[in-house]
């Protein structure tokens, strides 16, 4: 196939709305995602959350007029996004705030796409986002993380059946929604132990009159709120007699 025909095929798949899956698919993928978040597999799966976290930092940096210098993803699941601009101000606050809230809000956006029937489109959109992040990656482990994630999504989006693609989209969405609050809890545990003195919450405390604990609580409220609303959207979309927004 020529590049033009490949792009045409991708666009056709991505923009075609699909009927909702059976309820057992919705809730089975939710159960699998919850097991991943609560089991030892979290140590590996947390890299996905880090990608969303650093990607959110990068996006808000660009949207607020800052100059993005690069993104690093580390094997201990930490990450670093470097941007240049005013050291204080609303743009810097938004950039710092975006990290811990990013995975939950990405999951909420994914839930909205599923609600509209664009599960396959969601997978291709995530591939595009990873490709854009790849340009800004500045270390080898980060490069490997992005390539592995993108390759898995491309394989599913191109070779798997529509049913498996839909299931994968639900699994990714549930994982982002369910996983988002856990790093916030881990952050506060680190802060109580006297660690994480340069965390996003502590940076926000230095940028604003509000203490770090306030920002941790705000992160938690946003991520839990995204989980509740996203869960309702996904569940309601698969049950025809419930109202929609």
Q: Mind listing the pLDDT tens digit for each residue in 96-109? A: 999 999 999 999 99
State residue 102's pLDDT score: 97
Whether the pLDDT of residue 221 is over 80: the answer is yes
State residue 61's pLDDT score: 95
State residue 83's pLDDT score: 92
Q: Mind listing the pLDDT tens digit for each residue in 170-195? A: 999 999 999 999 999 999 999 998 88
Mean pLDDT of 155-163: 95
Q: Specify which of 82-91, 199-208, 230-239 reaches the highest per-range mean pLDDT.
A: 199-208
State residue 236's pLDDT score: 63
State residue 195's pLDDT score: 83
How many whole angstroms separate alpha carbon 119 and alpha carbon 163?
Answer: 10
Per-residue confidence at 196, pLDDT binned at 50, 70, 90? Answer: confident
Whether the pLDDT of residue 134 is over 60: the answer is yes
State residue 245's pLDDT score: 46
State residue 241's pLDDT score: 41
Alpha helices, DSSP H only, in the chain? 3-15, 23-38, 42-63, 90-115, 119-136, 140-159, 162-179, 181-192, 200-207, 212-237
Whether the pLDDT of residue 44 is over 80: the answer is yes
Mean pLDDT of 62-89: 93
Per-residue DSSP letters for 174-204? HHHHHHTHHHHHHHHHHHHTT--TTSHHHHH
Are 176 and 103 a contacting pair, CB within 8 Å? yes
Mean pLDDT of 59-64: 95
């Amino acid at each position: 196939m020529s590049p033009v025909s490949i792009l045409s095929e991708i666009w056709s798949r991505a923009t075609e709305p699909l009927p909702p899956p059976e309820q057992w698919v919705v809730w089975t993928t939710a159960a699998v995602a919850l097991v991943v978040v609560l089991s030892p597999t979290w140590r590996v799966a947390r890299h996905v959350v880090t990608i969303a976290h650093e990607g959110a930092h990068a996006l808000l940096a660009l949207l607020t007029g800052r100059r993005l210098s690069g993104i690093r993803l580390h094997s201990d699941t930490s990450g670093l996004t470097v941007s240049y601009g005013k050291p204080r101000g609303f743009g810097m606050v938004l950039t710092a705030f975006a990290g811990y809230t990013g995975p939950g809000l990405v999951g909420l956006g994914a839930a909205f796409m599923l609600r509209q029937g664009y599960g396959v489109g969601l997978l291709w959109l995530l591939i595009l986002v990873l490709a854009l992040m790849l340009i800004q990656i500045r270390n080898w482990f980060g490069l490997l993380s992005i390539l592995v994630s993108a390759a898995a999504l491309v394989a599913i989006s191109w070779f798997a059946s529509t049913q498996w693609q839909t299931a994968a989209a639900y699994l990714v969405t549930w994982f982002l929604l369910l996983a988002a609050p856990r790093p916030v809890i881990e952050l506060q545990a680190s802060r109580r132990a006297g660690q994480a003195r340069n965390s996003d919450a502590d940076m926000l405390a230095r940028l604003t009159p509000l203490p770090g604990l306030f920002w941790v609580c705000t992160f938690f409220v946003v991520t839990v709120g995204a989980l509740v609303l996203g869960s309702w959207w996904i569940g309601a979309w698969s049950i025809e007699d419930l109202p929609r927004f």
